Structure 1
Amino acid sequence: MASVESRVTRRNGRGTKVYDVRFRDPDGRQRKKTFAKKGDADRFAATVEADKLRGQYVDHSDRTTVAEYARAWAAARPHRPTTARRVSSLIETHIAGTRLGDRRLSAVRPSEVQTWASDRAHVLAPSTLRNLVSLLRSIYASAVLDRLAASSPVVRVALPRHERARVVPLTVAQVQALADAMPARNRAMVLTQAGLGLRIGELLSLRLEDVDFLRRTVRVEWQIAPGSKMRSEPKTPRSRRTLPLPQVVADALAAHIHQFPPGADGSLFTTTTGAVYRHDYYGSMILASAVERAGLPAGTTSHDLRHHFASVLLAAGESVVAVAERLGHENAALVLSTYGHLMPDSEERTRRAIDEAWCAITVPSEQAASG
């Protein structure tokens, strides 16, 4: 139990009475806090014992900063290498590199978090800022569990309004124009990504053994992460999937394999030296140049070929669940939020649904009036 003891301190020849609260923290370490008034000491003693019983004790003498704890939190997370690099970059640049990062973890107030978020809004895109605030929220949730903060100050953070632009998918004619504008060695890559809906990392890692021309399927087993030339596990467990092989893709791959034999490890798409492509070289150099030559909208990337794939399936009446599986998404929610406006005949279905619902009321009313 916490105890309160009085003593006299002397300064400049004068004696002053103070009150020491002695207690043990949840780890059994002896602690002391001094007060000038007995009432304050008594209240603290009662509060600290109650906090220990409720499991809400916080060591306010701990000097750990937000940046220090954030680094330790990130190091303990089971992040994939690419995720770990991204999280580390966010922490070092936008937390450790700001005034918030130097603040004591337990002393940060919600108003300070709001000031920090408003400052970051000047240098970050709205979507990146939301990810950053979510990261800080997770860090503080862990700090609360570790009893290094009484509560999280990352609450009710006002962020700039962000309206995500609606996806305008490439047409078949535009995809064909892009393929025609590519160097011969890369032409099949456009048709393969557009016809299978692959992520760029999945496209670059595709091997001959992943393609079953007889059963007309393609197995997605690996990806090549940004900044790497080595195969690694796919983004999520759902990313491992078997895809139907359309004839247009089968023909493009067969022609490609005949003209450009696979690499020593079976890689279908390789450079002239036999190496697999890096994300940045393929996307920023080869594909970007072809986009300009084909006259496609500025900003078109390889990801637009995934959008094209999804839009074609939805227009053909494929279910949202099936499209999510083909894309390797964890659930269909992302498909609905991204491509819901592309669902076929949605406007006509809306009109028909409302008219049919009201028809059941208006018809009897008209009959009663005529009677």
Structure 2
Amino acid sequence: MEQLTAEFGGAGQVGIGVGPVLEKFEDVSRIVVLRGGGLGDLIFAIPAMAALKAAYPGATLTLLGTPIHKALLAAVKSPVDEVQVLPYAEGVRPGTEDPEALERFFEEMRARRFDLAVQVHGGGRYSNPFLLRLGARHTVGTRTADAASLERTIPYIYYQNEPLRAVEVAGFAGADPVDLEARLEPVAGLQEGIPAADGGGQPLVVIHPGATDPRRRWPVERFAELSAACAADGCQVLVVGDKSEEDLAERIAGLAGSANVTSVAGQLDMAGLVNLLAKAAVVVGNDSGPRHLAQALGVPTVGVFWLGNVINAGALGRSLHRIHASWVTACPTCGIDVTQVGWTAPRCSHDDSVVADVAVRDVYEDVRSLIATGAGRQDP
């Protein structure tokens, strides 16, 4: 306990969650959470925010996030009370910084007089100084050795499950875990989505072939083969994606060669995507935002993951969520070690898939199993 007290700046340990759960702060009525990035990044932070809301039930919770976060949280029930869109800032939200806009943002945030600011945005090299400029009474977050310190910090080590990392941070803010993975529910009155999704009573298989890093993408030919096999079984297959993934989705639909395989990429807003995923029998995807969203909605998923991403982003359970991992550790072109990430080693210039060795047969068998057993629906 003496070692804990020294490391945590005088805070005593009062419980056990993913890590120690420390004493709650007093008189907390306004909480702010920093989490930029994409759809999956937000979903990883939901369990931590649920824990914070439960620990401080009278407090409002503000998320500093991105436009896609704001769109999603308008379409689902969540622990977040409001979203403030981050300004462009190095290491926090990529884009061209406007110093005057940044300063206006911080002035507005400091005027909120936040009681507690929580950082779950990476190792803190950029996000911790950003968090400190909010002027909150208390600060909690992750920290690499070269990052600014907060009032309470946990060490940031890259290979850790992201939702559990965020829950551990919430524990340092005095919040016991409520759940270990995100659980979301669509709000009433969402866009009905694609009419084709309601046709014929066929099992609906939704496929998302994209990923931010092209190395995480299962090859188009594999997705097409899977889509054709599902269609031959009588399933309806819809391929989703954003505007940038339209060509990818259309290639899959074309190669599948079935009227039961259709691309709807670029046709859905966030509410429509939530609605469509919620109707699916199974969602198949890479390590990507729509697969993580489907999981949070209680929909069965089959994921194609690189082994390192299984550690960071893989579903914890296997009754509803199946994972097929590639064990590739070197770039297929130049041989560089791809397990050394980010700041620990340079990324080579090659975008070869590191998940191409995952067999279509294995993914297909899990899709069939989830549909046949109806392991199916789990209410959020």
Query: TM exceeds 0.5?
Result: no
Higher helix share: 1
TM-score scaled to structure 1, two decimals? 0.28
Higher relative contact order (CA 8 A, sep 6+): 2
Which of the pair has more CA radius of gyration? 1
